[in-house]
């Protein structure tokens, strides 16, 4: 609320002075004693206007048209920052807006008309999902939620890489496991898959299609290429659904080849004039477009490298009308970012149309030391094992507490805590505390009042202003987190809201013998509950009423 109102007032003031600024930044100052909001717009104007920023700041203040009911005090600070202190009437209006907004508070239509695809997880269909995939699932789904909260039409997509060498090795590994079940010895190929999960996969395939027993080894391997992938994907879907993450589409790489799109992409690259043959392979001249060296797109045996179907896949996305496209990739794909951008740029696709984010590694810690949790899948640390251990809400919140581009140490000891030391429980407990207060108030004959019928002077006189200001920031927080694709901002914010509410609760009895005091404080509590619920929902985390 405050950022939009101040931006509009500042934009009008700048216009009165005959100037303009592309972007006006308004945000809370780091030190609350400096005010409720601050802007650096005078410093931004200083260079083009060749004037002292403090002089510009004073001119802007003189030109501002702000009601005394809105701003109580305006000051120039430091080299030219303009600090604003809001009036009690502003706090009153802000608090009513939070409750009036209900479940829609924080949402906007600011990006209506945009159509964005978020592709995430997309683990190879060669085994169960691990904790890096669990982190990517939490991040990708939260980014989708944030974008939707700003009016974007979002499609969540999972890319099933069901072609290539890893699928060949999966089929050979499946055949080896099958032969083991028949008490025959067959060594798993080099670079194959040793996890015990393959025993379960083969068991289900044989149970559903007993005829595989009578196939030749070659026919069985060919059958396993599809059947093992399908069975593993079923397990991945099941794990993700239990995790509360669903996709609009599961897109198989094989669809591209079957539709001729890989061949079409190859012809477009040839037509660009930036391919050449060397050592019996076809190369793409990506070096002029930012890579360290050129890349092979078709090997000497005529088989495409991974880059060619990747190009075809992204062209397919753009043809479906998504702009931009957001890809979340694992840490082992970092080297592929530059060459993917380069190949698409050769085809005339601007880099800003494809946003690639690397979701970094997860280290599970127990007693301060790295641990392996899986009981049955070799060295794989499974998503399902983690969820079984700490729960969906805790897992997601912990994965979202740090920016996805940073390595994450996941403290299992802290995650297992059931008290306020656990940041997830700390936030959820604040929400449950308000629900408990509302139940208790009803027993005493009080209800949360209507936004149009309540005297809020008790809570807008100073003691709760820090909390109200924080609640009023929520729409701006959602907008900024969506724009930056950074859901971790929300976890930090919700912990701050919870801390301020817990502090207010401990210092001020909410349900008292005085009806006016009680209803005003209940109203403040309900506003807090709205923001906590809406924020947790955007993270894909539950907001319980009882704990």
- Phi/psi for 58 (5° steps) reads -65, -40
Q: Where in the chain is the domain with CATH 3.30.1360.70?
A: 2-86
- Whether the model pTM is above 0.85: yes
* d(C-alpha 462, C-alpha 471), whole Å: 15
Among 159, 179, 170, CA closest to 127:
170
Three-state SS for 386?
helix
- Sign of the dihedral through C-alpha 171, 172, 173, 174: positive
Q: 379-384: long-range contacts (C-beta < 8 A, 24 or more apart)?
A: 380/127, 380/128, 380/130, 380/195, 381/130, 381/131, 382/128, 382/129, 382/130, 382/131, 383/128, 383/129, 383/130, 383/131, 383/133, 383/134, 383/137, 383/239, 383/240, 383/243, 384/128, 384/129, 384/239, 384/242
Sorted by sequence, the CB contacts under 8 Å of residue 107 that are 6+ apart come out as 149, 150, 151, 475, 478, 534
What is the chain's pLDDT, residue by residue, as a tens digit (547 residues)? 556 778 889 999 999 988 888 888 888 888 888 889 999 999 999 988 889 999 999 999 999 988 878 899 999 999 999 999 999 999 999 999 999 999 999 999 999 999 999 999 999 999 999 999 999 999 999 999 999 999 999 999 999 999 888 999 999 999 998 988 776 666 788 888 888 889 999 999 999 999 999 999 999 999 999 999 999 999 999 999 999 999 999 999 999 999 999 999 999 999 999 999 999 999 999 999 999 999 999 999 999 999 999 999 999 999 999 999 999 999 989 989 999 999 999 999 999 999 999 999 999 999 999 887 554 444 568 999 999 999 999 999 999 999 999 999 999 999 999 999 999 999 999 999 999 999 999 999 999 999 999 999 999 988 899 999 999 999 999 999 999 999 999 999 999 999 999 999 999 999 999 999 999 999 999 999 999 999 999 999 999 999 9
- The vertex-402 CA angle with 125 and 389, nearest 5°, equals 60
Residue recorded with tokens 């694992």: 330
CATH topology of domain 423-539: Isoleucyl-tRNA Synthetase; Domain 1 (1.10.730)
CATH 1.10.730.10 domain locations along the chain: 423-539
Would you give the DSSP letter of residue 188? P
Whether the CB-CB separation of 161 and 122 falls below 8 Å is answered with: yes
The Cα–Cα gap between 520 and 515 comes to 8
- Rounded to an integer, what distance in angstroms lies between the CA atom of residue 521 and that of residue 327? 44
pLDDT at 1: 54
Output the pLDDT for position 284: 98
Q: Which of 446, 431, 469 is nearest to 521 (CA)?
A: 446
> Look-up: residue for tokens 């000497």?
300
Check whether the bond before 324 is cis (ω within 30° of 0): yes
Label the pairing between strands 115-119 and 325-329.
parallel
Distance CA 487, CA 131 (A): 18
DSSP, res 159: E
Tokens of 39: 């802007």
Which residue, 191, 185, 155, 144, is CA-closest to 171? 191
Classified by CATH at the fold level, domain 2-86 comes out as: Gyrase A; domain 2 (3.30.1360)
Residue 437 and residue 511 in contact, taking contact as beta carbons nearer than 8 Å: yes
Is the Cβ–Cβ distance between 38 and 29 less than 8 Å? Answer: yes
Query: Rounded to the nearest 5°, which phi and psi values hold at 421?
Result: -65, -30
Collapsing DSSP states into helix, strand and coil, what is residue 297? Answer: strand
Residue with tokens 């809201």: 497
Taking the C-alpha atoms of residue 309 and residue 285, their distance in angstroms, rounded to an integer, is: 17
Answer whether 242's CB lies under 8 Å from 392's CB. Answer: yes
Pinpoint the alpha helices (H) of 259-364. 261-271, 307-319, 336-346
Which residues, 6+ apart, have CB-to-CB distance to 259 below 8 Å?
none
pLDDT at 28: 83
pLDDT (0 to 100) of residue 5: 79
* Cβ atoms of residues 402 and 488 within 8 Å: yes
């Amino acid at each position: 609320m405050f950022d939009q109102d101040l931006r509009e007032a500042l934009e009008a003031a700048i216009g009165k002075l005959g100037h303009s600024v592309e972007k006006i930044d308004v945000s809370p100052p780091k030190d609350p004693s400096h005010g409720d909001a601050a802007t650096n717009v005078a410093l931004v104007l200083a260079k083009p206007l060749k004037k002292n920023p403090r002089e510009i700041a004073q001119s802007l203040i003189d030109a501002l048209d702000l009601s005394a009911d809105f701003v109580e005090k305006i000051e120039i600070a430091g080299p030219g920052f303009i600090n604003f202190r809001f009036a009690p009437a502003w706090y009153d209006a802000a608090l009513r807006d939070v409750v009036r907004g209900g479940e829609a508070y924080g949402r906007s239509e600011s990006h209506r008309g945009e159509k964005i695809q978020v592709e995430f997880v997309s683990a190879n269909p060669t085994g169960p999902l691990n904790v890096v995939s669990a982190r990517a699932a939490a991040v990708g789904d939260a980014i989708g939620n944030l974008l939707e909260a700003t009016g974007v039409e979002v499609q969540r997509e999972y890319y099933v890489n069901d072609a290539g060498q890893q699928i060949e090795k999966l089929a050979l590994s499946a055949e080896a496991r099958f032969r083991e079940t028949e008490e025959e010895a067959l060594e798993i190929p080099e670079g194959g898959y040793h996890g015990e999960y393959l025993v379960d996969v083969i068991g289900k395939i044989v149970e559903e299609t007993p005829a595989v027993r009578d196939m030749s080894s070659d026919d069985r391997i060919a059958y396993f290429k599809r059947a093992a992938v399908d069975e593993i994907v079923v397990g991945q879907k099941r794990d993700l659904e239990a995790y509360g993450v669903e996709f609009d589409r599961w897109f198989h790489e094989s669809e591209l080849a079957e539709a001729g799109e890989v061949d079409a992409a190859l012809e477009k690259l040839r037509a660009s004039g930036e391919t050449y043959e060397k050592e019996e392979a076809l190369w793409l001249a990506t070096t002029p477009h930012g890579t360290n060296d050129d890349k092979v797109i078709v090997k000497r045996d005529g088989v495409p490298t991974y880059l060619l179907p990747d190009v075809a896949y992204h062209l397919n996305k753009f043809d479906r009308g998504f702009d931009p496209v957001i890809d979340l990739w694992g840490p082992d794909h970092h080297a592929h970012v530059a060459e993917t951008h380069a190949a698409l740029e050769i085809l005339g696709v601007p880099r800003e149309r494809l946003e690639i984010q690397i979701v970094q590694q997860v280290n599970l810690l127990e007693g301060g030391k790295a641990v392996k949790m899986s009981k049955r899948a070799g060295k794989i640390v499974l998503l399902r094992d983690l969820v079984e251990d700490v729960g969906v809400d805790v897992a997601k919140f912990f994965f979202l507490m740090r920016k996805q581009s940073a390595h994450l140490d996941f403290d299992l000891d802290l995650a297992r805590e059931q008290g306020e030391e656990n940041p997830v429980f700390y936030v959820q407990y604040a929400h449950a505390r308000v629900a408990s207060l509302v139940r208790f108030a009803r027993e005493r004959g009080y209800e949360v009042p209507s936004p149009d019928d309540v005297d809020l002077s008790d809570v807008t006189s100073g003691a709760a202003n820090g909390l109200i200001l924080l609640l009023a920031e929520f729409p701006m927080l959602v907008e900024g987190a969506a724009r930056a694709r950074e859901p971790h901002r929300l976890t930090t914010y919700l912990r701050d809201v919870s801390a301020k509410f817990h502090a207010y609760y401990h210092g001020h009895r909410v349900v008292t013998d005085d009806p006016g005091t009680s209803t005003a404080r209940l109203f403040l509590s309900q506003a807090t509950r709205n923001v906590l619920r809406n924020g947790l929902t955007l993270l894909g985390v539950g907001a319980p009423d009882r704990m």
